[in-house]
Amino acid sequence: MLESYPAHINELLSYLVSVGGSDLHLSAGSPPNFRVDGDLTQREDLPPIPPRVLQEMVYSVLTQSQRERFEENLELDTSYSVVNLGRFRMNVLRQRGSIGTVFRFIPYQIASVEELGLPSVVSSFAELPRGLVIVTGPTGSGKSTTLAAIVDQINSSRPSHIVTIEDPIEFLHSSKRSLVDQREVGTDTKSFASALRHVLRQDPDVILVGEMRDLETVSSAITAAETGHLVMGSLHTQDAPQAIDRMIDIFPTNQQSQVRIQLASTIQGIVTQQLLPHASGRGRVAAVEVVVGTPAVRNLIREGKTHQIYSAMQAGAQFGMQTMDSCLAKLHQQGKVTLKAALSASSSPEEVRRLLGSGNGVVGNIRI
């Protein structure tokens, strides 16, 4: 008989939600860790979890088929729901011979673009009839939340067939004005690439690709956008030019010129985001960079001059474009983020300093 642990996983998840946290980390030999406002914290009343106890805790919330998949692959991405609390993206792993797991909180209620504090141009992407929209940023930057907000706006505003391909399904979309079919990799389809190979025969208007990971997935997404569909997807890159380069570089060298032409004709927008701690010490704020597929941007992509897209963003405010640095400077001016947070989140702190109007190399008490 294994010893018990003083808290069930559901209790730990309930505590996570009650403190406004985003992730629960359970690792053998350590107490539960909760990510709150970007930082990991522990509860003093909870002891380390013994390896065999943690395995029993994790297996208790998995189905038999999920356990078998994990034991075969030593990795598992799935979802877990707690009644009257919310859904959680769940990753199960092994480390140093023991089991571990991470839960990411996914609220039942889908926030709007406005509620997320995103620029209004992001909302306009939901009105597009066709093309490619990419949301990019580091892990935990809210990409899935932004994509869910756009999908929900489409779902609420026009009669369309929306097909999502996710690993796993995160936000649940009930059909409103649109018909929404959500497919989970590993459960409803073998892979992103496999689902995309067949999706055009399902008469979609809008296609959401949870993550554009490989050549076949990227190629199929671009083809779907070329054939008159609105395709949205996510990438793990730090800025918009990197997102373009990533999609091109994944192809063999002899195909890259053609891919540039295809991307130039289909790209509608790129949203790059990161989450910063709020200046109040509670909550986080989205800092967002936006590229809109203007003729100038398309021409730069076609000619392989993605390094010049930043200049196009600086000059494209009338189209809704903004750089990350201009957003960071604005958030600080509005009192939403501290100066230190704004500067540390920028790849060009001197540009943030310039936008804030300091020319002496010092902003506040921080020397650049």
Q: 9-106, what's its fold?
A: Beta-Lactamase (3.30.450)
Q: What is the pLDDT of residue 357?
A: 87
Residue entry with tokens 């991307």: 263
**Whole-number pLDDT of residue 358:** 53
pLDDT, residue 260, reads 97
Classify domain 120-322 at the CATH topology level: Rossmann fold (3.40.50)
Query: What is residue 186's predicted lDDT score, i.e. its pLDDT?
Result: 87
Give the pLDDT confidence of 106-115 residue by residue, as tens digits.
998 999 999 9
What is the pLDDT at residue 3?
67
Cβ contact 287:119 at 8 Å? no
Where do the domains of the chain lie? 9-106, 120-322
User: What pLDDT sits at residue 333?
Assistant: 96
List, in sequence order, every residue forming a beta bridge with 105; answer none if it has no partner: 88
The tokens describing 250, both together, are 């994944």
Q: How much is the pLDDT for 360?
A: 40
Pairwise CA distance, residues 101 & 89, whole Å: 10
pLDDT of 80 reads 95
Task: Quote the pTM value.
Answer: 0.89
156 close to 290: Cβ distance less than 8 angstroms:
no
- Give 361's contacts (C-beta < 8 A, 6+ positions apart): 353, 367, 368
163-191 pLDDT, tens digit each: 999 999 999 999 999 999 999 998 899 99
Separation CA 31–CA 39 (nearest Å): 15
Identical fold, 9-106 and 120-322: no
pLDDT of 242 reads 94
Extract the residue ranges of the chain whose pLDDT is less than 50: 1-2, 359-368
